[in-house]
Structure 1
Amino acid sequence: MDVEFLREDYEPPDVIKRYFPGGLVGHDKEGCPLWIVPFGRMDIKGLFHSVKKSEFIKHFVHLLEKSEVDMKDQSEKLGKVIEMHSVIFDMENFTMKQLAWKPAVDMITQLVAICEDNYPERLKKIYVINASKIFPLAYALVKPVLSEETAKKVHVYVKETWKSAVMEDIDPIELPSHWGGTKVDQDGDPRCSIIIGTGGFVPCSYYTAPSRRLSAAENLKKVVIEKKSLFPVELKIEEAGSVIRWEFQTECYDIGFGVFFRPNQEESTPGGSQDQDEELISVQRVNCQLVPEDGVVSCEKPGTCWDTSYPEGLYITISLLVTHFGTIYP
């Protein structure tokens, strides 16, 4: 994702800057970065209707990289290794409709995977505050994708108990006054909105038609796929380290989507046997009738030299399997 660019020059879309909740607010008593995320005020459906999923993920990685930079600065400043951060998730105003939408759960699952796969052991502690009676239902949707170690770091507090627990680890001067501390921003805002995005409902004026969330609408190919049929898109990859990107949407129904690797040219025939194929992305249900699907995969294997192991070139099969009759735009 070109993280050096995300660290230095990334500029998120205006709707993300205005309505993506959260920010790096200070540090705990040991000097580790502290984030506050007013998750209960997040309009994830509104954000998805306004930007591509990849832009949402890019901003999330940008925030993780910002934390990495802060850890390095803190290590130099304090003369000790700082390599973890903590997050306060404020669930005030949270309703189940924020998660009772399949694309939202899928996105949270993907963000958790990004953290655990690419930023391992960075999480120190998660404080879930202002948890209502419905929070256990929401957490039950997310907990299965958390590793055992990550789940142990999640601490849930109701309204009456969280302040004393948070103050054990964080000085009041590091917390905005809205969250029990003494900090205000230069305008006297108790939420410190200049550094902590407050979220809120995304105005419909930011919404874009699904086709507008695709990068190259003029080059789309339209196909009709019969129920329970397979539509393979095969690409020959000449060079190790190549990157494949995809974008597609359907008109009415969800589909199954997967990416497979096939080493031999002779085996790479449309609709041919996939017994020897390697699964790069497992076939999964994609709700691209609600939100256009886009993603990326790097065509390389750690420890394997593809251009000598597979001199005839590499083939990637992107498979779209529909369970209903519908129209797809790959």
Structure 2
Amino acid sequence: MHWHTLFLVLLWAFSGVESHDLTETEVLEYKFPKSMQDALPYSLSGYDGEGAPIWVMKFGSWDMKTYVSGGEESYEKMDIYFDQMLSRFRKSAQDSEAKKFTIIVDLEDFGFWQSSHVPTIRFILSKLSRVEDTVGKCTKKAWLLYSNFFFRSALAIWKPFLPNLSKFIEVYGSYKETWEPQIRQSLPADQFPKRYGGSKD
């Protein structure tokens, strides 16, 4: 077993990280400073042909390490921010005709500085059940792009904890020719960014 794999398994076993105690309504109404939104970017890009919302999450550039290691208050804000994002995904699906949503997750720049940071990895592991419970049954497709070897290895460990969501996940590296045609075939070009094969600025 690769040491990264063993490391992740052990972290999962001991990832008893306490979460906030806010209700979902309180989470959705929580206000975050612009600096935090800029450091942890995601946005609603458009809608597919069936009316399903298309979200773009630039997870690779998320500066989770700063917030996770910034003390108790900083960690709690990171925790609430993540849960607010998941709740927004689900609500957008519930409010749509399709009752599901699609997401493009950009993993570029998710490098060693975060993937080797134990508190950050523990945070990610602690959120897996929340991800599955919140969006596992309302995800239409999750395109994970620009993934590296570490992320793909980690995902292989995480998938058993995401039984519903994992059915809709497609993981690709940085070679656009392997995934761009598929996304173009699945989504209206004017509803998602040029970076992923669309025509939207």
Percent pairwise identity: 25
Distance 1:114 1:45, change over 3 A: same
Is the 1:22–1:35 Cα contact (8 Å) retained in structure 2?
yes
Match of 2:167 in 1: 152
Is the 1:127–1:156 Cα contact (8 Å) retained in structure 2?
yes
Matched, 1:66 2:81: no
Match of 1:182 in 2: 199
Gap runs ≥5 in structure 1: 76-81, 185-330
Matched, 1:89 2:66: no
Match of 2:121 in 1: 105
1:46-79 CA deviation, whole Å, 9 max, x = no partner?
122345322212112222332333234423xxxx
How far apart, in 2, do the equivalents of 1:34 and 1:58 lie? 22
Is the 2:86–2:134 Cα contact (8 Å) retained in structure 1?
no
Specify which of 179, 182, 187 is matched with residue 165 of structure 1. 182
Q: Which has the larger radius of gyration?
A: 1
Specify which of 22, 27, 43 is matched with residue 6 of structure 1. 27
Greater helix share, 1 or 2? 2
Structure 2: which amino acid aligns with 1:68? R
Specify which of 22, 25, 29 is matched with residue 45 of structure 2. 25
How far apart, in 2, do the equivalents of 1:107 and 1:18 lie? 20
Is the 2:54–2:103 Cα contact (8 Å) retained in structure 1?
yes
Distance 1:163 1:118, change over 3 A: closer
Aligned residues: 176
Structure 1: which amino acid aligns with 2:169? V
Is the 2:55–2:102 Cα contact (8 Å) retained in structure 1?
yes
Is the 1:126–1:153 Cα contact (8 Å) retained in structure 2?
yes
| TM value normalised by structure 2 | 0.75
Greater strand share, 1 or 2? 1
| TM value normalised by structure 1 | 0.48
1:241-281 CA deviation, whole Å, 9 max, x = no partner?
xxxxxxxxxxxxxxxxxxxxxxxxxxxxxxxxxxxxxxxxx
What is the aligned-residue RMSD (CA, Å)?
Answer: 2.3
Distance 1:68 1:143, change over 3 A: closer
Match of 1:39 in 2: 59
How far apart, in 2, do the equivalents of 1:114 and 1:53 lie? 16
Displacement after TM superposition at 1:170 (Å): 0.7
